[in-house]
Structures are given as C-alpha cells and as structure tokens.
Structure 1
C-alpha cells in the first residue's frame, strides 16, 4: 500500500504543469530504488544465513570427524583389551591347570604320607609291643609276657605300682567296669597293653553263640573307647580257648566258630603256656609261694612264655608274689614284653 501511495503521488506530481522533465526522471527512479532496497536487504540476510549455516555444517562435520576418530580409537582400545583379556584367559586356564596338577600331586603326596605314617605307626607299635630293648635284635633272647586277667580292680593299682618299680610292661585282659575309667586310662598311660576279656565274663552268655560273644566283646570295646579313646584288637577267651564250659553253652564248635569270625574282623587271641594257677583254689587264695613256684617252674625249656595271672580284687597273693616272679624270670634270662597282634602265639 505504501508503494502504491508513493507511485500514485508521483504520478499526480508529474502531471502538474510546473514540473520539469529532469525532475520527472528522479520522480521515476525513486520508486524503483524504493522497491529494490528491500530485495537487496532480503538477499543480504539470506547470504548471511547461508554463511552461518555453512559454518554450522562445517563445525558439525568437524565434530563428526572428531567423534569418528574417537570411535576408531576406542575400537582399537577395545580390540587391544579383548586381546589382553584373551591372553589373560589363556594364562588363567594355564594357572588353573597348573593348580589342578599341583592339587593332584598334593593329594597323591598326602596319600603317600598317610601310607608311610601307617607303616611307621605299625613299626613303632611292633617295637613298643615286642617289649624290652634287645628283643628284636637278639634272636636267642628269651621273652616273658606277663598277663593279668579279670581286672581292673584295686589290685590293678598295686600291680601297676610294682611294674613301674621294675620298669617293665605287661598286658591286661580286662572286663567291663563302668566305675573304673581311671584304671583303664592308667594302664595305657604307663605303656602297658589292654586286651579284651569280654565285658561280662559270663560263660553261659558269651558262649551261647558267635553273635552273643561279639555283642559282649563289642560292648567292652565301646567302653574302652569311651574311657580311653581307643579300642583293642587282641583278646583272651574267658577260660582260654580250650575251656570245656563253652561246649555246654554253644556246642563243640563254638570256640572254633568264634576264632574264625574274630580273624575276619582283624582280632587275635592269646592263650598262655605258663600259669600262676592263682584262680584254682575255690573259696580261698592260693599261697604266694605256690604262685611263685608255679610260674618259675613252668618256664623250663621255654624260650618265650605268656604267663597267666589275675588282678581281680580277691587276688592279693598274686600281687604279693609278683616281685619274686619278676626277679626270678629276670634271673632266668627273660626280658619282658607286651602282647600285640604282631606277637606269635605260644
């Protein structure tokens, strides 16, 4: 509207009679200029906008290039890390294999160690239970195994005192005594051996069957384990393996059947070849002199002897005879040992 008004005003002005031709030219050019100026301004603005956009595009292209370079750098780092991780994984696998091999070797060595420890334990037990020094070194050495049946009792304490005085060891075939844990412990603590003589020592009960025997036998071993922490693998039949009472209780083959079962279970029994005969006088005690004589005279012609004595509460004369028995056997050239499954039966 502005331009139309201007051009309209100019046209009216030109028609005025006083307007010169030169003034008409200017009057014509002015509107043209007025029309061109906005176009030029708009063009200049567009140019500025294009330059600004080009600069932005250039900046974005530079940013994209920078990001691509960072991406490539990160890819290289990731690749390097993946290679390092792969190498570590392989190294870790190698370490694991090495650890497994070492664990296997350790396990093998532990088994081997246990085997040697078991052998050493057996050897030490043999050396200990064969008795006094020199027994295994001298094949001609005479050995006496003193054994005491039917304890423990108050007489067991006295026997242990005597054995301690003479510095010798013996074997105690014990029965079940719930109220005497310290006596079982003392026997073992002082280096003597314990053998199983059944819990009850009841002939009619233990010899009624193989199962009955081992039920009573196991009951005593359980008692020993509870009191001392260990059991025993040697035993003596009440009455010995040649007793006749067992036949009436379980038949003529009962002892043989028990021996077979005992062998399967890893147990060894011992009888005797010299006896003090300190349990033969019904209703009284065998005189001390008789006990001493029975033992010392029973050794004739014997290199190794297992001496049967008793340490029950009624066997006072056996306790009294023990010092003379020890001294007499020593004078006959005997050394003293304790029984174990490694000792041959007499």
Structure 2
C-alpha cells in the first residue's frame, strides 16, 4: 500500500515538474523545447488522472490536447492557443486553477484566478475559490477584499459569510472576528462551533464576559436547531459563570433567568407525559440575590441547590407530583467548593 502511495506521489510531482519546465522554456523563448515538454505534460496528465482521485483535467484534455494536434508545426499559433484566456475557454482555465489549488500549488492557482476575474468578476464560485486560496496562502487582507466583493453580490450567502469569518479568526484578529459576529444579520450565519472557538480565544485572554457572549450565541443556534446539547458548550458556560461569580453575582442570576425558558423547548413538550400538566424546570447552582427566588415563588422555576449529578431531576410536575430527568435540559451549575 505504501509503495502505491509513493508511486502516485511521484506521478503527481513529475506532472507539475514537467509543466514548470515547459513554461520555463517558453519564457526563455526556447519554443521547440517548450513544445516538446508540453507533449510530455499531456502524457503525464493522463497518468496523473489514472492514478489519483483528481478530476480537474479539462484544460489538458481539451485545450492542450487540441492545440498539440492542430499546431504541431506552428509554434506561434500553438502558444497563442494554449495561453489565451477568454470567455470560451473560461471553464477549462478555472478547472486548471482548481487542479493547482487542490494540490497546494496555491500561488499558481491565485495567478490564474486573478486573470479569470478580469473576464468574469461576478463569478461567486471563482471569488470564493480565490478567497480560500488567498487565505491559506496567508494573504489575509487580499482574501477579505475578495470576500467583500462576493458578499456585495450575495450578502446572504452563508458559505461566504462563514469563509470571511474564518479569515478573521485564523489570522488571529479576534476583535475583528467579534465585531464581525456582532454585525451579522442572523446569529446562525455562522455555526455554533465557530462561536465556541471564538469564545475559547477570549477565555484564554481572561475576557470572560466576552467569552460568555460567544458561548451563549453558539448555544442559541443549538437551541434553534433543536439539537442535543453540546457538552463542550455547557461546560464552557459553566466555566465562565464560575469566573464571573468572583466579581458579579447579579450577572449569574440574570443569566439563569434569561436562559431557563430558552433551554426548555429543546424537548418536544414542556408538559408532563403522564398527566399533561405543565413542567417546571429545576435549576442548580449558587444563587445570590432575590431574583431567582422571586421566580421560584411565582412557580416559574424550582431552585435545586448546589449538589447535582446526572441522576438529578431537571423538571417537576406539580399536578401529579412527579420529578423527571431530561439529562442536560436545564442549565446545571455545580460549584466545587460546595
């Protein structure tokens, strides 16, 4: 198996080497040598295609192959044919850019992309591909400009929004990333995992309120999508509340009250499966202040104390006097010093 992998790698490297060599001869005006190398390139492209999962050989199968046959005795026309880029051969050139980009030849892919953008500056697929390759070439400012152009064409394209978020994030511009997140029209334009990743960055910087904001946004998406709770998200929120409790207990209470009703509907019903009565959520953790107890007096919640484990009930039905455990339904904050 290893021998096969090594052989396929050699075939791929030989292909790219031959094309570099053919281009180098052309730039040095050694047209005959360049032409001969392009014949080798075509043969190597077929071998590459037959020994890999790569599929982007349209330029070689159509343009290079035809030009070699048609202009074997006319180098001027041959090179004019293979190097011209226009709307008719646009797809073949874009396909070639993908071949280079997919094989980590990003600088070459970007050169092709910029030339193609002069022909079709509004091609969203090309803009996204260009932005991606610029980003992974660490040319972040250029990448952001490309995504700005793309989003000016389709501002609601979630793939583009997510890609732009990633450029900010991977270039360690976490404050720009945060500002970008806050200006999104829809919270779920990026994923809950994206918010969690950003939250972790701010947690590392000990900016806990900002980290909590990020974790909460991720939690909102999970709730809206009716997904199972992400344990990492819950644990992250618990960590932030512990950190914030050092200075601001009221913030914790506000968080309890804000999220209890939101967390409930992750299950199909908020009513008792036995009698149909309304279920009251049980919350756990250190409570400081009167707000939470006022909610308990109204019958909206039950304060369950600070000791909690997987078997602890999460809901209570007053009508039939039954407790229920819905696992992570309800935010459980257990404090290690209790």
TM-score scaled by length of structure 1? 0.20
Greater percentage in strand: 1
* More contact order relative to length (CA 8 Å, sep ≥ 6): 1
Answer with 1 or 2: which has the greater Rg. Answer: 1
Q: TM-score w.r.t. structure 2 length? A: 0.21
